[in-house]
Chain A
Amino acid sequence: GAVVSQHPSRVICKSGTSVKIECRSLDFQATTMFWYRQFPKQSLMLMATSNEGSKATYEQGVEKDKFLINHASLTLSTLTVTSAHPEDSSFYICSASGGTRTRGDTQYFGPGTRLTVL
């Protein structure tokens, strides 16, 4: 149980285009989802927290207009990187928590998405 998927696993795009990453909880309802960014050989950096049906809460220094997060259902959250630039290239990871089939205090992570902006 507590499986989280992400799609796509890898994406390459041109500078100036937008990219959407999907995060799904497959066997539980995620009341809260999180989006992280991870640079090589570093820890995870929380970008934003989203509760189903509410606007996301962004961490300090994260551009809301650049990283659009939507959590429209209890099993799906999306991260859209708008007008992507090479400095947005990174590994993006989502996690989910909540529901009765999991421990609500525990985050379960997706496999991550590697974004490369040319």
Chain B
Amino acid sequence: AQTVTQSQPEMSVQEAETVTLSCTYDTSESDYYLFWYKQPPSRQMILVIRQEAYKQQNATENRFSVNFQKAAKSFSLKISDSQLGDAAMYFCAYRSEGAQKLVFGQGTRLTINP
């Protein structure tokens, strides 16, 4: 079974600085999708970014970008120019090509210091 590991329970960063959240996963499959979701205090899960495993190019969405290392099974999220509104719980998730379910990591709580 696939597993997703987020080794940083908590992270903090100064406003306007850059922070990287780590995520590793374990799978024997070659085709899959990876996601980062954000859960702010409102508890609404918001899609931040998605990556298809067959694409070598790292996905980017404005200030959010990923470093996808397929061989190392690593999928880190970089947040540039951190803003107070970025404070949230961030979940890394994995989905097999042929499956419907998401496998979530334990989450990383990100605090933004003004």
Contact = CB atoms under 8 A, between A and B. Distances in A.
Residues of A contacting B: mostly: strand
Contacts of A97: 100
A32 B45 contact: no
A38 B102 CA distance: 14
Nearest to A93: B45
A44 B43 CA distance: 11
Contacts, number: 46
Nearest to B102: A107
A107 B99 CA distance: 12
B1 to A, nearest CB: 12
Interface extent on A, as a size class?
A: 20 to 34
Contacts of B107: 42-43
A29 interface: no
Contact of B104 (A44, A105, A110, A112): A44
B45 A95 contact: yes
B11 interface: no
A58 interface: no
Interface in A78-108: 91, 93, 95, 97, 103, 105-108
A108 B106 contact: no
B100 A32 contact: yes
Interface of B: 33, 35, 37, 42-47, 50, 91, 95, 100-102, 104-107
Given A42-B106, A43-B106, A44-B45, 13 more contacts: A34-B102, A42-B107, A43-B91, A44-B91, A46-B101, A95-B45, A105-B33, A106-B35, A106-B50, A109-B44, A109-B46, A109-B47, A112-B43
